[in-house]
Amino acid sequence: MEKQQKLILVTGGAGFVGSHLCERLVRDGYRVISLDNYSTGSPANHILGVEYRTGHTKDISVHIPEIPQVVFHLGEYARTEKSFEDVELVWDQNKIGTLAVLEFVRRTKAKLVYAGSSTKFADDGAGRDQSPYAWSKATNTELVKNYGVWFGIHYAITYFYNVYGPREMSGSFGTLIKIFSELYKNGQPLTIVSPGTQVRNFTHVDDIIDGLILVGEKGEGDEFGIGCPDAYSIREVAEMFGGEILMMPERKGNRMTSRVHSERTQSLGWNAKRRLPEYIEKLKLELGTVEKKEQRVLVFTTTFYPDQGKAEEALCDVMRSMPNVEFDVITTKFSKQGREATFPASNVRIHRVGFGNVTDKYLLPFLGARIARKLMRERSYTFTWALFASYGALGALVARIGRRLPLLVTIADQKLGNIPFHIRFMLGHILGRADQIYADDTYEARSAVTLARRAALVRSIGEGDAFANQIRFTYSTFLRNRTNS
């Protein structure tokens, strides 16, 4: 069959790796269809000549009535640490969606090229169970192989190793090299999750695509690793960029070691041609001289030290872990005990409003906003952070009238489905106008979407994006540790 007549389906074709694969396939003369739900993909990644269909892989038979010869299945949830927050989403995309894809290839007789995860090889095999994401991907490879035994489908399973290159994602689903490059470009410290000695193999996206195409044409079976053999610790990568390094607390799912399993792919004639140090040097040359910026965050919270629950304690943990970041905290006096209390760290300044009773929270949106506006005239903040979508968040919105200071809202133990009507109205207003909203589980995130009447909870906040995301991740880690202790 001629290439011009061959139909290829790429799930996740509007994503980072998927868009590069689509681009290569079109260039090679194939007819290409992309199926993407755009949870992380973007229309900005569209390639001329590709037919784009919007939809979930669990509905693949509805969206793809055609019969492709090959299905490259890249359209799954693909972040390790964040998967602890998104367990339901991981199951929906990686289990339900992939089962539908397997049924699709069983009926159509298409060859399946499945993008597994190299996390299952990490830490001598223990990596497969270290996170919801890793487990879902590892068990999916077993399901793919079983479909081969049970139903005779043609398949090849590939494994990527820390892909980098053009069109990398930033934000909460950002890849390490993109996160570091954004922080470096904006003069911000490079954040390293402790201990920093964890080792990774970084592979350029063009090498990934070379391997995928080759496996699609010639590969059959499992263990087609596509990874550069050069290994670097996270600290070594940060040192390639240069500049200030900020250590972050250790997170669940953060594997320490990994070894590239690329022998089968190499047997087809593949070898990695690009190297990370050269890529980083090129990035730095393109960016030129960068100016170091002070990191300041303006925080709104109804209560704070010493009047605190686990959520406020986690906030304090964040502040202690980041001594080089300046925090201005606007809060209530709330109790007589808290009127004059100072936080035992030099990087935190507390600004209290009210009279030391429970009515102080009603004053926070107004008196707190006045303090914030004064601080914003005197200092430059990366973003405003509201702990919970409450009176403090309302104060942050009032304070930024006439100013463009991004607002991050974190929702911890609030149950949005159980709040009174008048509070729901206020929260809907707040959440609809916040730039970024993060909830501690998928159910609350969906509730926030409904309440705010918005399509997505996260919008880009420009140069503060990567830094805000690292702080938010750190807070989630501390909060989880506090809650489980």
Q: List, for residues 288-298, the tens digit of each pLDDT value.
A: 888 877 789 99
List the structure tokens of 156: 């090849």
Residue 232 is assigned to a structural domain of this protein:
no
Residues 259 and 308 in one domain: no
Q: What local confidence, expressed as pLDDT, does residue 59 receive?
A: 97
**429 with 375, same domain?**
yes
pLDDT for residue 3: 45
Nearest by Cα to 212 from 116, 69, 104: 116
CATH number of the structural domain spanning residue 417: 3.40.50.2000
Structure tokens at 35: 């199926």
Residues near 286 by beta carbon (within 8 Å), at least 6 away in sequence: none
- The boundaries of the domain holding residue 83 are 3-162+204-226+251-271
pLDDT for 372-419, tens place per residue?
999 999 999 989 999 877 888 899 999 988 777 899 988 876 677 677
Is the pLDDT at 124 greater than 80? The verdict is no
Q: Looking at the structure, do residues 24 and 151 belong to the same domain, yes or no?
A: yes
Q: How far apart are CA 117 and CA 282, in angstroms?
A: 28
In a domain, 108, yes or no: yes
Residue 372 shares a structural domain with residue 409:
yes
Q: Are residues 136 and 263 in the same domain?
A: yes
Question: Using an 8 Å Cβ cutoff, are 195 and 214 in contact?
Answer: no
Task: Check whether 367 has a pLDDT greater than 60.
Answer: yes
Given a cut of 60, whether residue 152 has pLDDT beyond it is yes
Question: Does residue 184 belong to any structural domain of this protein?
Answer: no
Give the SS3 label for residue 459: coil
Position with higher pLDDT, 132 vs 446: 132
The amino acid present at 153, given as its one-letter code, is I
pLDDT band at 446 (very low <50, low <70, confident <90, very high): confident
| Residue the block writes with tokens 């170091």 | 292
Whole-model pTM? 0.80
CB 107 within 8 A of CB 71: no
Rounded-to-integer distance, Cα 23 and Cα 26, Å: 5
Alpha helices in 196-330 (DSSP H): 205-218, 234-241, 263-267, 276-287, 310-321
Candidates 282, 248, 164; CA nearest to 469 is 248
- Which tens digit of pLDDT belongs to each residue from 207-251? 999 999 999 999 999 999 999 999 999 999 999 998 788 887 777
Sign of the alpha-carbon dihedral angle for 113, 86, 301, 363: positive
Please determine, for residue 308, whether its predicted confidence score (pLDDT) is greater than 90: no
User: Per-residue pLDDT for 182 more than 70?
Assistant: yes
Question: Helix 391-399 and helix 369-378: axis angle, to 10°?
Answer: 50
Q: Would you call 334 helix, strand, or coil by DSSP?
A: coil
In a domain, 276, yes or no: no
User: Please, what is the average pLDDT of the chain?
Assistant: 88
Mean pLDDT, residues 171-193 taken together:
85
pLDDT tens-digit readout, 43-53: 999 999 999 99
Q: How confident is the model at residue 17 (pLDDT cuts 50, 70, 90)?
A: very high
The CATH number covering residue 24 comes to: 3.40.50.720
Mean of pLDDT values over 28-37: 97
Q: What is the mean pLDDT of residues 301-311?
A: 87
Task: Assess contact for 470 and 441: CB atoms under 8 A.
Answer: no
DSSP 390: S
Q: Is residue 231 part of a domain?
A: no
- 80 with 209, same domain: the answer is yes
Give a yes or no: residue 280 inside a domain: no
Specify if 390 maps to a domain. yes
Identify whether residues 310 and 266 lie together within a single domain: no
Q: Are 105 and 71 in contact, with CB atoms under 8 Å apart?
A: yes
Q: Could you give the CA distance from residue 311 to residue 304 in angstroms, rounded to a whole number? A: 9
Report residue 319 CA to chain centroid gap: 22
Confidence of residue 2 (pLDDT cuts 50, 70, 90): very low
| 240-290 pLDDT per residue, tens | 998 788 887 777 666 667 778 899 999 999 999 999 999 999 999 998 888
Cα distance between residue 390 and residue 267, in whole Å:
59
Q: Are residues 369 and 443 in the same domain?
A: yes
The DSSP H or E segment spanning 410 is strand 407-411
Together in a domain, 221 and 336: no
Backbone angles phi, psi at 32, to 5 degrees: -125, 130
For residue 148 the two structure tokens come to 């081969």
Residue 238 lies inside a defined structural domain of this protein: no
Q: What percent of the chain has pLDDT over 90?
A: 55
**262 and 382 within one domain:** no
Say how many domains are in the chain.
2
